Amino acid sequence: MRLKNKIAIVTGGGSGFGEGIAKRFSVEGCKVVINDINMQGGTRVAKEIQSEGGDAIFVNADISLNEGWASLVGQAVEKYGSFSIVVNNAGFTHKNQSMFTVSEENYDRIYAVNVKSLYWSAKNVASILEKTGGGVMITVASVAGIRPRPGLTWYNGSKAAAITTSRSMAVELAPKKIRVNIINPVMGETAMLEDFMGMPDTPDNRKKFLDTIPLGRLARASDVANAALYLASDEAELITGACIEVDGGRTI
Ligand SMILES: NC(=O)c1ccc[n+]([C@@H]2O[C@H](COP(=O)([O-])OP(=O)(O)OC[C@H]3O[C@@H](n4cnc5c(N)ncnc54)[C@H](O)[C@@H]3O)[C@@H](O)[C@H]2O)c1
């Protein structure tokens, strides 16, 4: 087991990539604190992990807010004593559309969830990770942050900010033995898919996107989870500030 006796927080763990990461970590012996604002999804994932013999709790908290992180960290420490892995996975997007029609409210939400969450995450977890002798933070950003598609301008920018912020955190947190790495998935089969496509998810419409991915398929939760597993494990002990593209060659 590659994460035996470790404890991880996974934000946005109630569906999609976060669900895949939480479940994969559990199979590898990790206790998992699943966070989401989706009560139903988060509760379901925690229950499914428990029914497979894993150890997990669900914490309903908004990770764009300091209070959300304080509650999340508080409940993780209360249940498990500490933790050494934090996966900043929760994300938000506007639907694919002209950059001029995205509302200010949506813009602010995108930056709050995709970027400001890293600020609150670092402020709330770094001292705890340092006390346990170091730890791992993983940001689920996106290929959108390095190879932007039209129609997702404000989301693309937020993911670029998340990537650079995480790389800078990697340097600043290295003396505390905290590694910070990034995963950039290509478009995936999750709840966000139709927002990214900006059109119904029909076979014809999907083909337009698949044609731009050399390996010819979308990302699955298991693809992102496998990358997260490597980065979270001791096998990656010299890896920090790295971006792993889980993209079938899309960004080449
Ligand atoms: N699906 C894709 O095509 C794709 C591609 C590249 C990157 N990503 C990124 O992957 C990450 C996971 O997204 P997904 O595709 O699994 O979508 P998803 O909608 O299935 O999962 C995102 C989860 O984050 C939760 N969430 C949103 N705001 C939150 C908040 N403030 N606090 C706590 N939880 C919150 C949602 O409730 C949801 O359960 C996101 O950061 C997304 O930007 C997705």
Q: How far is the CA of 17 from the centre of ligand 1 (A)?
A: 7
Q: Whose CA is nearest to atom 19 of ligand 1?
A: 191
In the predicted model, what is the mean pLDDT of residues 220-228?
Answer: 98
* Side-chain half-sphere CA neighbours of 135 within 13 A: 22
Distances in Å between the Cα of 241 and the Cα atoms of 88, 143, 169 are: 14, 16, 8
Sort 207 into a burial class: Cβ within 10 Å, 0-12 / 13-18 / 19+.
exposed
pLDDT digits (tens, 9 = 90+) for 50-89: 999 999 999 999 999 999 999 999 999 999 999 999 999 9
Q: What distance in Å separates the CA atoms of residue 218 and residue 225, rounded to the nearest whole number?
A: 14
* pLDDT value of position 214: 98
Ligand 1 centroid–CA 214 distance in Å is 24
Ligand 1 pocket test, candidate residues 115, 192, 197, most atoms within 8 A of CB: 192
Cα 38 to middle of ligand 1, angstroms = 11
Which token pair is 40? 């139903």
pLDDT of 161 = 99
Instruction: Looking at the chain, list the stretches that DSSP marks H as alpha helix, in order from N- to C-terminal side.
Output: 16-27, 39-51, 66-80, 104-111, 117-131, 153-173, 193-197, 203-210, 221-232
145 lines ligand 1 (CB under 6 A): no
Average pLDDT, the chain: 97
β-partners of residue 56 are 32
> Percentage of the chain with pLDDT > 90?
99
Q: pLDDT per residue over 20-29, tens digit each? A: 999 999 999 9
Q: Hey, whose CA ends up nearest to atom 31 of ligand 1?
A: 62
Q: How far is the CA of 167 from the centre of ligand 1 (A)?
A: 20
- In this structure, which residue's CA is closest to atom 7 in ligand 1? 142
- The three state secondary structure string of 127-165 is HHHHHCCCEEEEEECCHHHCCCCCCCHHHHHHHHHHHHH
* 178-222: pLDDT as tens digits: 999 999 999 999 999 999 999 999 999 999 999 999 999 999 999
Name the residue at shortest CA distance from atom 14 of ligand 1. 16
Q: How far apart are CA 106 and CA 76, in angstroms?
A: 30
Distance 62 CA to ligand 1 centre (A): 13
Helix axes 104-111, 153-173, angle to 10 degrees: 20
Q: Is the CB of 36 under 6 A from ligand 1?
A: yes
Is residue 155 part of the annotated active site? The answer reads yes
Would you state the pLDDT for residue 151? 97
- Find the length of the chain: 252
- At residue 223, the pLDDT reads 98
Which pLDDT score, from 0 to 100, does residue 134 have?
A: 97
Mean pLDDT of 10-32: 98
pLDDT tens column, 117-145: 999 999 999 999 999 999 999 999 999 99
Residue 92: which pLDDT band, with cuts at 50, 70 and 90?
Answer: very high
What pLDDT sits at residue 228? 99
The reported pLDDT for the residue numbered 114 is: 98
- The finding on whether 35 has its CB within 6 A of some atom of ligand 1 is yes
117 Cα nearest atom in ligand 1? 31
Residue range 7-246 in CATH 3.40.50.2300: no
